Structure 1
Amino acid sequence: MSTSAAAKPPAVAPGSARAWLLATRPATLSAALVPVAVGTACAVAASGFRAGPALAALAGALLIQIGTNFANDVFDYEQGADTAERLGPVRATQAGLLSAGQMRAGMVVAFALATLAGVYLTWVAGWPVVAIGVASVLSGIAYTGGPYPLGYHGLGDVFVLLFFGFVAVCGTVFVQMGEVPALAWWAAVPVGGLATAILVVNNVRDRHTDRKAGKRTLAVRLGRSAGVAEYVLLLAAAYATPVALVGLGLADWPALLPLASLPLALAQARVMVSGTEGPALNRCLARTAQTMLVFGLLFALGLAL
């Protein structure tokens, strides 16, 4: 794999505000926004919406996502997964835009600010928020750091499905209502599935450099074909869920609104199935994230209506 195919650092000054913005990975933040939007829509559907907890949940989710991105940036660099051979978007530590120390400090600040949102939510909704918050922060660090990094042992997909789906959606409903209705458990399936699909594209793209670094993702363990099959199944589960909700009488027909985004999903499924490799998968990853955003906002609107 030639280094010429690797992503080139943009014209960003080391240590600058733009360097920090790049390190937050703005394109990934939809994975934090969508679960809160869908969870809040579930609360609206159950006449349990509360603006304060909803906004605090959004702030906490975004900050935990940013802190996790910072942790991933520095730990992947230190473990040798992010090198000049990597085909994905620029990583701040590897590109020399921020030092490992700066990235660690940013991680601590992001998680500390998330904790402040958690303090308010604990006051509103009680001790379960503490368990949710602690588990989310520790998992964010343990994804690529610590003695047993989850992403390096093929557990990243499970982590994303659990935390970006069930924990985030159901947690958002819980802090507003004090309970989790059946609708929220169902709604978590497509949200977690699409977030995991983003990770799958990343892992398929990086499987060669990940193998060299000892990062045993499912794409490394099982190969590209298995990664593509996982991607397609995740999309299928996501788009089947609104239909199931309406069919079971758990939601009204507006819950079918996210089906309007199906052409976006099918276009990216075709890219994956076609055998596309290398930097072209960067576009597939970004468009999968866009698909999640469009699906999620339409789903939230449909559930709220």
Structure 2
Amino acid sequence: MTTADVSRTQAWLMAARPQTLPAGAAPVILGAAVAVYAGVFAPLPALAALVGALLIQVGTNFANDYYDAVNGADTDEREGFTRVTAGGLIEPRKVKYAMAATYGLAVVVGLYLVYIGGVPILVVGLTSIVAGLLYTGGPYPYGYYGLGDFFVFLYFGVVAVTGTYYVQAVTQAAGAFPTTIPAGTVPLDVVVVSLAAAGPSTAILVVNNIRDMETDRKSGKQTLAVKLGYRWSRVEFVAMVALAYVVPPVLIAVFGYPITVLLPLLSLPLAAGLTRTVLTRTDGEALNPALERTGQLLAVYSLLLAVGLVVSGVT
């Protein structure tokens, strides 16, 4: 399909990049599931966390599309999915307005979560939006300087899972708008669970950056993949995927979780096939599908772990 064949609706879907939404939803699902297991599940805060996370994800996608085009990072040589701003499918100002509107909706949803979670959630929400904007925007777009992987690991893993758990647990531990983190609302085992989302979420970015390594290098975009090269970027990918599969045995051995948390091991064949592709290919023809499959791996793994947690929590 050429850009001339793309309808306005298709163009906006391309800008929103729905294939990336598992990265926003998976950690919230895990945070809700571990809350069920711990007996602190609260449906409205969990739902608000999910909606807020997805809005921030879409807003960040709009921001990346806009700022990558403005900064000249998207060129004709790029092998990734079509970007609507650089491709001339949507006017830059409209993409910028969509970014602002989506983040604005996230703020509206966040007001409810701030009422429940207080200052800690206010800090999490604001820094999440700022991190999304500054990934490719602002005077020092940190995604261009090798810091994107760290922030994805932090916000799409640790912060998202523990934050989702917190807004549920805090309803039983404190009144409205707490100013500090009440005891027991961010236990260590939940932080460990968050690593199961942090690893595969970061792996998505690694695949993206391996695919774009040569064009990023030419445009001056110093992603971590550009800094590390193919060999060590692939090591990073394997480490991030492997991290997810280390989490269930640790939960069982250290925290006494039930054996049902081993359900994510059923996704190992998908992880193995994906890893073979990433270890041997650099072209968009192979890595574009691999990028989508990495998102699918995150979704499948997270759902399996969530089922293992929920089954144990309700029986």
For the criterion TM > 0.5, the same-fold answer is: yes
* Secondary structure of the corresponding residue to residue 249 of structure 2: helix
Could you tell me which amino acid in structure 2 is paired with residue 246 of structure 1? I
2:174 — aligned with what?
none
Runs of 4 or more consecutive aligned structure 1 residues displaced over 6 Å after TM superposition: none
1:226 — aligned with what?
232
Over the matched positions of the two proteins, sequence identity in percent amounts to: 48
Q: Choose the corresponding residue for 2:117, options 125, 142, 149.
A: 125
The alpha carbon displacement at 1:8 in A equals: 5.2
Could you tell me which amino acid in structure 2 is paired with residue 119 of structure 1? L
Query: Is the contact made by 2:281 and 2:287 (CA closer than 8 Å) also made in structure 1?
Result: no
2:278 — aligned with what?
272
Pairing of 1:88-167 with structure 2 (within 5 A): 88-167=80-159
1:252 — aligned with what?
258
Return the alpha-carbon distance in structure 2 between the equivalents of residues 125 and 77 of structure 1. Answer: 37
Structure 2 length normalisation: TM-score? 0.92
Q: Any gaps of 5 or more consecutive residues in structure 1?
A: 1-6
Return the alpha-carbon distance in structure 1 between the equivalents of residues 256 and 85 of structure 2. Answer: 46
Query: Is the contact made by 2:277 and 2:286 (CA closer than 8 Å) also made in structure 1?
Result: no
1:69 — aligned with what?
61
Pairing of 1:1-305 with structure 2 (within 5 A): 9=3, 11-13=5-7, 16-178=8-170, 179-305=185-311
* Secondary structure of the corresponding residue to residue 96 of structure 1: coil
Q: Which range moves more in the overlay, 80-89 or 196-205?
A: 80-89
1:208-265 superposed Cα distances (whole Å, 9 cap, x missing partner) = 1101111101111121111111001111111111111112234111111111001000
Could you tell me which amino acid in structure 2 is paired with residue 122 of structure 1? V
Could you tell me which amino acid in structure 2 is paired with residue 263 of structure 1? P
Return the alpha-carbon distance in structure 1 between the equivalents of residues 47 and 14 of structure 2. Answer: 24
Return the alpha-carbon distance in structure 2 between the equivalents of residues 237 and 250 of structure 1. Answer: 19
Could you tell me which amino acid in structure 2 is paired with residue 197 of structure 1? A
The alpha carbon displacement at 1:277 in A equals: 2.5
Q: Any gaps of 5 or more consecutive residues in structure 2?
A: 171-184
Return the alpha-carbon distance in structure 2 between the equivalents of residues 37 and 55 of structure 1. Answer: 10
Query: Is the contact made by 1:88 and 1:279 (CA closer than 8 Å) also made in structure 2?
Result: no
* Secondary structure of the corresponding residue to residue 284 of structure 2: coil
Could you tell me which amino acid in structure 2 is paired with residue 34 of structure 1? A
The alpha carbon displacement at 1:96 in A equals: 1.3
1:77-100 superposed Cα distances (whole Å, 9 cap, x missing partner) = 111111111100111111111111
Query: Is the contact made by 1:170 and 1:185 (CA closer than 8 Å) also made in structure 2?
Result: yes
Return the alpha-carbon distance in structure 2 between the equivalents of residues 146 and 137 of structure 1. Answer: 13
Query: Is the contact made by 1:8 and 1:90 (CA closer than 8 Å) also made in structure 2?
Result: no
* Secondary structure of the corresponding residue to residue 97 of structure 1: coil
Return the alpha-carbon distance in structure 2 between the equivalents of residues 196 and 32 of structure 1. Answer: 12
1:27-86 superposed Cα distances (whole Å, 9 cap, x missing partner) = 000000100000001111111011110010001000000000000001011111111111
* Secondary structure of the corresponding residue to residue 39 of structure 2: coil
Aligned residues: 297
Return the alpha-carbon distance in structure 2 between the equivalents of residues 293 and 74 of structure 1. Answer: 27
Return the alpha-carbon distance in structure 2 between the equivalents of residues 8 and 297 of structure 1. Answer: 36
* Secondary structure of the corresponding residue to residue 133 of structure 2: helix
- Shift in CA distance, 152/8, structure 1 to aligned 2, threshold 3 Å: farther
Return the alpha-carbon distance in structure 1 between the equivalents of residues 190 and 131 of structure 2. Answer: 22
